[in-house]
Amino acid sequence: MLSRINSLITEINSLQINDPVELETFRIKYLGKKGIISDLFEEFRDVSPSDKKNIGQILNKLKQTATDKYNDFKNRLSFSSASSGQNDLTRPCYPWELGSRHPISIIRNEIIRIFERIGFTVSEGPEIEDDDHNFTCLNFAPEHPARDMQDTFYISRISSEDSNPGDILLRTHTSSVQVRVMHNQKPPIRTISPGRVFRNEAISARAHCIFHQVEGLYIDENVSFADLKQTLLFFAREMYGKNTKIRLRPSYFPFTEPSGEMDVSCTICGGKGCNVCKYTGWLEVLGCGMVHPAVLDACNIDSAKYTGFAFGMGIERPAMLKYQVNDLRLYFENDIRFLGQFSTSF
């Protein structure tokens, strides 16, 4: 038995291991549960007591030699693998993949920067509002259909009347922020109000019950509709390119008079017509108008001295035009394949 053990020690010392497969073969052959050394320890039980001390020492030496050989080549192969550029499974994941900004955030920030260049400041307010700020101060009549449950998400209604200043709701527009600004600031006022709003609408490629808005307000002496038009033309060309065309159509909003809606030439189809622009070549992007004198008076601003204009736009539509996205629902599905396309659009 001694001769066999000494022969194995010599054999192990002379071995050369060149790859992980040979290393694993070595481990199984010599150090495995059914390997050579394990079998020798089984035979060791039958050795006579007088020989056990001597043979036991040599047998332990064999096991230690095999273990040292295995660990030595394991370390060498790991170092060699790392040096040669092969994958080291013990290393942490690197480089870390950077996330991307949501396209709504990208467009929101771009709109803000455009208006900041012409003197507008940013104002923000709560998403949970009362009827007074959301409707009454904006000249909405008590029977106006926008107050109905079919259009507005009410959190609580104090009475069954058509309107009540204490009714609590999810804001339907960020115009409520403009009311707060007019209550707390004297003219001149030049501000934009970005934020999320809520309306009880059917979800489709062109509409959603949750969307984002940026609304603007400018109040000062001698403000005219011409000022509004030039401001919106500046925005459209900064946003969509210097060749962008706009058109203003008459409309109605309770808080502006006169009121209009602005369309821009569709950049998705180049004006030829598609499902986004309803095959007209134009896409409505915002509503606008001169601030109604009743709104100024409700906010304690002298309507005989001051005039102003207001506008409001959804952020999803400009984003659809900017990135040629033909389905608004993509913004809310959190599909990383879609969002990953905007990783460089910071």
What are the DSSP calls for 111-150, one per residue? HHHHHHTTTPEE----SEEEHHHHTGGGT--TT-GGGSTT
Residues ≥6 apart with Cβ < 8 Å to 9? 61, 62, 65
CATH of the domain at 116: 3.30.930.10
Structure-model confidence comparison of residues 16 and 98, the more confident one? 16
Tell me the sheet residues that pair with 262. 248, 286
**Which pLDDT score is estimated for 197?**
93
**Which pLDDT score is estimated for 291?**
96
Question: Do 197 and 312 belong together in one domain?
Answer: yes
The distance in angstroms from the start CA to the end CA of the chain is 75
pLDDT band at 123 (very low <50, low <70, confident <90, very high): very high
**Which pLDDT score is estimated for 192?**
96
Question: Do 240 and 328 belong together in one domain?
Answer: yes
Structure-model confidence comparison of residues 150 and 280, the more confident one? 280
Query: Quick check: pTM over 0.75?
Result: no
- Residue 323: count other Cβ atoms within 10 Å of its Cβ: 16
Question: Do 54 and 154 belong together in one domain?
Answer: no
Residues ≥6 apart with Cβ < 8 Å to 193? 122, 123, 124, 125, 174, 175, 177, 178, 181, 213, 214, 215, 216, 217
In sequence order, which ranges of 161-217 are alpha helices (DSSP H)? 175-184
**Which pLDDT score is estimated for 85?**
53
**Which pLDDT score is estimated for 146?**
77
Q: Does residue 89 belong to any structural domain of this protein?
A: no
- Give residue 63's domain range: 2-83
pLDDT, mean over the chain:
85
**Which pLDDT score is estimated for 40?**
82
What are phi and psi for residue 99, nearest 5 degrees? Answer: -75, -170
Question: Do 50 and 131 belong together in one domain?
Answer: no
Mean pLDDT for 221-239 is: 94
Domains identified in the chain, total number: 2
Domain boundary among 24, 52, 83: 83
Is residue 86 scored above 80 in pLDDT? no
Mean pLDDT for 17-39 is: 84
Question: Do 37 and 134 belong together in one domain?
Answer: no
Is residue 135 scored above 70 in pLDDT? yes
CB burial of 125-136 (b: ≥16 within 10 Å; e: otherwise) equals beeebbbbbbbb
Structure-model confidence comparison of residues 6 and 180, the more confident one? 180
Q: Does residue 97 belong to any structural domain of this protein?
A: no
Assigned token pair, 227: 């000022």
Query: Cα separation of 159 and 140, whole Å?
Result: 18
Across 11-15, 126-130, 171-175, 218-222, least confident range: 11-15
CB burial of 324-335 (b: ≥16 within 10 Å; e: otherwise) equals ebeebebbeeee
Question: Do 10 and 156 belong together in one domain?
Answer: no
Q: Does residue 308 belong to any structural domain of this protein?
A: yes
Q: Does residue 72 belong to any structural domain of this protein?
A: yes
Question: Do 124 and 56 belong together in one domain?
Answer: no
Q: Does residue 241 belong to any structural domain of this protein?
A: yes
